Structure 1
Amino acid sequence: MSGALPIAGRAEVRRAVLGEVRADKTLFAGMMLLAVLAAAAGLVGPWLLGGIVDAVQRAAGPGGGPGGTGGGPADVVAEVDRLALLIVAFTVVQAVLLRYAAYAGAKFGERTAARIRERFLDRTLALPPAVAERVPAGDLVARGTTDIATVATTLPGVVPDTAIALVQMAVVVVAIVALDPVLGALGLACLAGFGLATRWYLGRARPAYLAARAANSALADVLVTSAEGARTVDALALAGRRTEAVEAAVAETRRTSLATLRLRTVLFSAVEAAYVLPLSGILVAGAVLHERGSVSLGTVVAATMYIRQLVGPADVLLWSVELLQNASAAFARVEGLTSVPPAKRPEPADRPGGGARPDGAGPGGGAGPGGSPAEPSGDRIVVDQAFFAYDFGTDVLRGVDLVIRPGERLAVVGPSGAGKSTLGRLLAGIDPPRSGTVTVGGVPVAGLAPDRLRRQVLLVTQEQHVFQDSLRANLSLAAPAATDAQLHAALEAVGADWAARLPGGLDTGLGGPGHRVDGAQAQQISLARVILADPHTLVLDEATALLDPTAARAAERALAAVLHGRTVIAIAHRLHTAHDADRIAVMDHGRITELGTHDALVAAGGGYARLWHAWHGDSARGS
């Protein structure tokens, strides 16, 4: 897989949202029930106000004077007072119910945001290494920071407010129709403008917001890669090109942001106009109907108040619809990780040459003949006619055949681009072959479960990461159940004497405000992890190449302790690494062209001999 990660479609986003509702359905149902009760309580006030108007009108009589038939002044005042008190009481009840509905909604949102964050982290960590390495750095960073933050900040406030507003609007609309069907139908017809404007906006918002999010990711990628490659940029005088790339990314981000702004401008203007029509329609129609005696004045007042009650929830929806579109685009990017295809897991080889024999079982070996079929039956590694290409390009490996015996030290050498590091990745189970097999104990290496793979084979490269956490946490990544004594023993084995002098011991923080580790110390932490993981096989891809000579010598001494008793496959970019290996595999153009001991290959006078003489000069011809 290459390029940016996929984006979830509308159906996938809907399923994910429904899944979150089901995950906390009791709390969500409580929020909706409180919203319905609050909306119902809000209907009482306008209805009672209409009753007050009718009571006063009846008291005034047909002519509006004091000779009406609605009771004496004292009775009217008493009824108005009673209705006014009820209005106050139901207003208080509505406020209390809305408060608890909002609280339930915020609680639901926070829980949901936490689940989304945790799920995103799990999915990110579960990405096949081959996928994670090909994703633009800015894309994954943007999804894990700005996109997650957008979703997390929208859920606790906007989602509950939107749900409550929708409930309120639905209840008010039903109340208007029930109060007087004619006035209700007219009010709903006038509200159609709000619906049309919103529909127009929603039809254009998703692609616009996704484009804006993609532009932000591209900008983040340009900034991250420029910062990470600052030395290269400076050395090759590429500052001008990188500046142009950043400016182009900024321009695209600005363009896409303005596109979403234009959509919001049209929506807000259309909805503001739509607000005036229902109120005007109710007042005009109500006056005509009241004049004809079809409705009472109180009914017209109540209907008008109900229409006014729609403005508040409509305002909430108007503001929320923009935030929700933004959050929906972010959520689609976050959920896009579910569309990443799992790593290809080849079936175990059943051919006699597949190495399905229990010979050579050693430390960290498989379950043996009586174990599960998915467990290696030994530690013998067999590469059989392996072909591999990156992203469906030209094959980098072309029919590689190789058998590595348990406990053997094999060096893989060859010119740059010969396929050495790619072979190392296949041996470590990071990538499966396009065709052919790479097995350990008869089981495809890439098909092993992650924890089993870690015990079987590990790839150690030049790049090692120390997390901004305690030393204990950094080491326990390889062995979560390791004791303090085991952690200290691993550090001691790789010569990390500095760890004993840390002020907080194993609990000392590394990075940031804590202890700053240099390259040699980071390498020692990495090698200590290898000891704790205790794999049977190590694939070394120039693990000390980035260190200065002094640090490299110290790391190589530490590495000697790590290598003891294990199968070692060294991707040797420098030939002195190959000299002491049990065997040397020479690669050229994706194939193994020579295989044998150092002395035998030098004596054969082939490609390895030429490389060796070129490396050491004519004085090495007698070696």
Structure 2
Amino acid sequence: MSTHDAAPAEPKQADPIRRILQPIRGRLIVAALLTGIGSMFTLVPLAGIAQLATMALGPAGALAQGDVWRIVIASAASLFLGMALISLGELAAHLADNRITHQLRLQAMRRLGQVPLGWFTSRASGEVKQAMQDDINTLHSLTAHFYTTTGRAVGAIAISVVYLFAMDWRMALIAILPFPGFFLFFGRAMKASGSNMDQFVAGMGRINHAVVEFVNGIPVVKAFGATGRAHGSYRAAVDAFADAFAAFTRPLVGSMANANALIAPVAVLGVVVIAGTVFVALDIMAPVDVLPFALVAPGISAPMLLLHYLTHDLNNATGAAQRVLALLDTPVLAQPAPGQQQLPNGTEIRLEGVGYAYDGQNQVLSDINLTLRPGTVTAIVGASGSGKSTLARLLLRFFDPSVGRITLGGVDLRQIATTELYRRVGFVLQEVRLIHASVRENIALGRPGASSGEVEAAARLANIHERILALPRGYDSVIGEDAQLSGGELQRVSIARAVLLDPSVLVLDEATAAADAENEVAIQDALSRFARGRTLLVIAHRLDTIMHADHIVVVENGAILEQGSHAGLLADKGRYAQLWALGGYQDTQEDAVLPC
């Protein structure tokens, strides 16, 4: 399984929102119904006011005190009941949101704990953070607010329309006439802007590229005085985006302005007044009968506009749901079933016919057959891109071979539980990964129960003990806060972490690439002492550091070109001898060391 094979898959269902919210869908429906019914009850006082006005303007004596109190009490009771139902609905939605947010974060955490380590090497941390934090926060707006707000809006519109038709169906038809026009203008706006969407997206891409290019090139531009050309390229991208943005927004703004103006409360009220005047003139209805329409019909505008804005939020939530589902659908590293796990018998490592291809197409390694015998040092050398680091990461099971198998102590790595594998195989890579915790906790990450003495002994072997003691709080200093360490010092902390695990097999890949000269000597010394007596695989850059290796393997174009001892390879006068003749350096960015 490659890192690319483990890339997030496309959501399997057409509606990502439905899939994400499936566990709490029933609760959200109940919440929407509660808020919808509550919204209906809160509008009952409007009908009460209209009824009181009708009675007051009606024949003398129609306004009886008893009737007034009944209407007032009923209106107040409906208002408070509606508010209570809305509050219950909001509470139900927030509880449901808390449940699904909790579940999604735990699922994402568990998923990331099961994906191949190689998956992280092809992912920016911001991409993972967006799905785990930003997108789940976006879904919070959907679950906690979208359904209840939709329920309130739909409930207000529904009760208003029912009430108006109950008063007079003819006047009701005229009063709601502006609202179909709103959707007509809205659809036209979406169609007009959609035709320019491709240009808008392309313009966004060009300006993003121009910004990155401009910022990254500032040192060169200043050094060589090429400001005119650099500024011109950025300015051209900005101007092109401005044109695309204008083409995208011009039809949208015009149509949406017309749509919003059409259902503005004053516009709806104007339609009601004009229609009411005509009806009164034709003696179809009494003047006082127009009052309910003047009170209620303009109130439909606000929830109608709210529904329009909610569709925008729904689009954002759909994109967030797709990214979260992509993360949750990431293929995991296969683990042996319970009862089928096997424990290695010894530390011999064999690569048997191993091949690996990214995406199943780009072949990186082919037919690798190699044995790492217990207690020996095997060095992998070769030009940049030859497949050396990929071979090392297969041994660490960052991903699995496309063909062939790798065994540890006679057991296929795929039949060894990950926890068991990393108890036996340690690694020190160029990319140091430390967590936001104390130095002590970082060293003891693989053995949380290690004593302070064991942690300090590991730090001493890694040549970092004295530097840790010099920190403000010593081993309790927190990485990134009061523990400000250089790249080489962080590397030595990672070595101390590996030392504490005491693995029988050690993989070194670019172990000193980030270190300065002083730190490199300290790291080399630490690794030399740590590696004694262990099975060691070294990815080598400087050939003079691996000339005493038990076995040297030259990799080229993903295949083993030659292998043997330093003396034997020089005698063969092959690729290794050519590299040695060039000064003992290879065309790579990698480095490694051997035990003295």
AA partner of residue 493 (structure 1): L
Partner of 2:479: 510
Q: Is the CA contact (8 Å cut-off) linking 1:20 and 1:112 kept in structure 2?
A: yes
Match of 1:325 among 315, 318, 327: 315
Cα distance per residue 1:210-238 (max 9 Å; x no partner): 99899989988997899899999999999
Q: Is the CA contact (8 Å cut-off) linking 1:209 and 1:329 kept in structure 2?
A: no
| Structure 1 residue 567 corresponds to structure 2 residue 523 | no
- How far does residue 86 in structure 1 lie from its aligned partner after superposition? 4.4
Q: Is the CA contact (8 Å cut-off) linking 1:377 and 1:441 kept in structure 2?
A: yes
- Partners in 2 of 1:433 and 1:198 — Cα distance? 54
Partner of 1:59: 59
Q: Is the CA contact (8 Å cut-off) linking 1:456 and 1:537 kept in structure 2?
A: yes
Partner of 1:35: 35
| Structure 1 residue 167 corresponds to structure 2 residue 155 | yes
CA separation of 1:48 and 1:403: change in aligned 2, threshold 3 A: same
Partner of 2:349: 381
Q: Is the CA contact (8 Å cut-off) linking 1:194 and 1:275 kept in structure 2?
A: no
AA partner of residue 54 (structure 1): T
- How far does residue 494 in structure 1 lie from its aligned partner after superposition? 1.6
Partner of 1:309: 299
Query: How do 1:235-254 residues align onto structure 2 when only pairs under 5 Å count?
Result: none
Cα distance per residue 1:129-166 (max 9 Å; x no partner): 44433346765566567655555566655554334323
Q: Equivalent residue of 1:387, what SS? A: strand
Q: Is the CA contact (8 Å cut-off) linking 2:111 and 2:332 kept in structure 1?
A: no
- How far does residue 559 in structure 1 lie from its aligned partner after superposition? 1.6
Structure 1 residues 152-161 or 569-578, which shifts more?
152-161
- Partners in 2 of 1:184 and 1:483 — Cα distance? 80
AA partner of residue 513 (structure 2): A
CA separation of 1:309 and 1:212: change in aligned 2, threshold 3 A: same
CA separation of 1:589 and 1:338: change in aligned 2, threshold 3 A: same
Partner of 1:272: 261
Partner of 1:451: 419
Q: Is the CA contact (8 Å cut-off) linking 1:347 and 1:444 kept in structure 2?
A: no
Q: Is the CA contact (8 Å cut-off) linking 2:336 and 2:414 kept in structure 1?
A: no
Q: Is the CA contact (8 Å cut-off) linking 1:109 and 1:160 kept in structure 2?
A: no
CA separation of 1:252 and 1:146: change in aligned 2, threshold 3 A: farther
- How far does residue 526 in structure 1 lie from its aligned partner after superposition? 0.9
| Structure 1 residue 133 corresponds to structure 2 residue 101 | no
Q: Equivalent residue of 2:506, what SS? A: strand
AA partner of residue 541 (structure 2): H
Q: Is the CA contact (8 Å cut-off) linking 1:213 and 1:330 kept in structure 2?
A: no
- Partners in 2 of 1:250 and 1:491 — Cα distance? 53
Partner of 1:362: none
CA separation of 1:157 and 1:291: change in aligned 2, threshold 3 A: same
| Structure 1 residue 192 corresponds to structure 2 residue 180 | yes
Q: Is the CA contact (8 Å cut-off) linking 1:213 and 1:329 kept in structure 2?
A: no
AA partner of residue 539 (structure 2): I
- Partners in 1 of 2:490 and 2:393 — Cα distance? 22
| Structure 1 residue 421 corresponds to structure 2 residue 409 | no
Partner of 1:361: none
Contiguous gaps of at least 5 residues in structure 1? 61-69, 349-366, 618-623
Query: How do 1:29-178 residues align onto structure 2 when only pairs under 5 Å count?
Result: 31-60=31-60, 70-71=61-62, 76=64, 79-80=67-68, 82-84=70-72, 86-88=74-76, 90-95=78-83, 97-98=85-86, 101-102=89-90, 105=93, 108-109=96-97, 112-113=100-101, 116=104, 119-120=107-108, 123=111, 127-135=115-123, 139=127, 147=135, 150-152=138-140, 156-157=144-145, 160-178=148-166
Cα distance per residue 1:516-536 (max 9 Å; x no partner): 111222011111222344444
Partner of 1:354: none
CA separation of 1:136 and 1:373: change in aligned 2, threshold 3 A: closer
- How far does residue 614 in structure 1 lie from its aligned partner after superposition? 3.8
Match of 2:517 among 544, 549, 552: 549
- Partners in 2 of 1:211 and 1:335 — Cα distance? 29
CA separation of 1:275 and 1:609: change in aligned 2, threshold 3 A: same
CA separation of 1:333 and 1:241: change in aligned 2, threshold 3 A: farther
- How far does residue 578 in structure 1 lie from its aligned partner after superposition? 1.8
Match of 1:397 among 362, 365, 368: 365
Q: Equivalent residue of 1:48, what SS? A: helix
Q: Equivalent residue of 2:64, what SS? A: helix
AA partner of residue 43 (structure 2): L
Q: Equivalent residue of 1:570, what SS? A: strand
Partner of 2:469: 500
- Partners in 2 of 1:444 and 1:294 — Cα distance? 90
- How far does residue 415 in structure 1 lie from its aligned partner after superposition? 3.3
Q: Is the CA contact (8 Å cut-off) linking 1:59 and 1:76 kept in structure 2?
A: no
| Structure 1 residue 14 corresponds to structure 2 residue 17 | yes
CA separation of 1:496 and 1:33: change in aligned 2, threshold 3 A: same
CA separation of 1:444 and 1:274: change in aligned 2, threshold 3 A: farther
| Structure 1 residue 588 corresponds to structure 2 residue 588 | no
Q: Equivalent residue of 2:14, what SS? A: helix
- How far does residue 443 in structure 1 lie from its aligned partner after superposition? 4.8
Query: How do 1:362-373 residues align onto structure 2 when only pairs under 5 Å count?
Result: 372-373=340-341
TM-score by length of 1: 0.75
AA partner of residue 313 (structure 2): L
Q: Is the CA contact (8 Å cut-off) linking 1:386 and 1:397 kept in structure 2?
A: yes
- Partners in 2 of 1:238 and 1:122 — Cα distance? 51
- Partners in 2 of 1:218 and 1:535 — Cα distance? 50
Partner of 2:588: none
Q: Is the CA contact (8 Å cut-off) linking 2:335 and 2:418 kept in structure 1?
A: no
CA separation of 1:235 and 1:153: change in aligned 2, threshold 3 A: farther
- Partners in 2 of 1:566 and 1:323 — Cα distance? 58
CA separation of 1:373 and 1:85: change in aligned 2, threshold 3 A: closer
Q: Is the CA contact (8 Å cut-off) linking 2:33 and 2:151 kept in structure 1?
A: no
Partner of 1:353: none
- Partners in 1 of 2:224 and 2:394 — Cα distance? 33
Cα distance per residue 1:249-299 (max 9 Å; x no partner): 877887787677557633353133144676555556666667788777666
- Partners in 1 of 2:243 and 2:405 — Cα distance? 49
Q: Is the CA contact (8 Å cut-off) linking 1:139 and 1:220 kept in structure 2?
A: no
Q: Equivalent residue of 1:269, what SS? A: helix
CA separation of 1:302 and 1:388: change in aligned 2, threshold 3 A: same
- Partners in 1 of 2:360 and 2:213 — Cα distance? 25
Greater relative CO (CA pairs within 8 A, separation 6+): 2
TM-score by length of 2: 0.78
Structure 1 residues 190-199 or 534-543, which shifts more?
190-199
CA separation of 1:599 and 1:404: change in aligned 2, threshold 3 A: same
Cα distance per residue 1:481-513 (max 9 Å; x no partner): 5454443343233222122343334432221x4
Partner of 2:407: 439
- How far does residue 563 in structure 1 lie from its aligned partner after superposition? 2.4
- Partners in 1 of 2:217 and 2:455 — Cα distance? 34
- How far does residue 556 in structure 1 lie from its aligned partner after superposition? 1.7
Structure 1 residues 268-277 or 199-208, which shifts more?
199-208
AA partner of residue 335 (structure 1): L
- Partners in 2 of 1:447 and 1:235 — Cα distance? 57
Contiguous gaps of at least 5 residues in structure 2? 586-596
Structure 1 vs Structure 2 CA RMSD? 4.7
- Partners in 1 of 2:171 and 2:557 — Cα distance? 82
Q: Equivalent residue of 1:546, what SS? A: coil
The share of aligned pairs that are identical, in percent, is 27
Q: Aligned residue pairs: how many? A: 579
CA separation of 1:395 and 1:18: change in aligned 2, threshold 3 A: closer
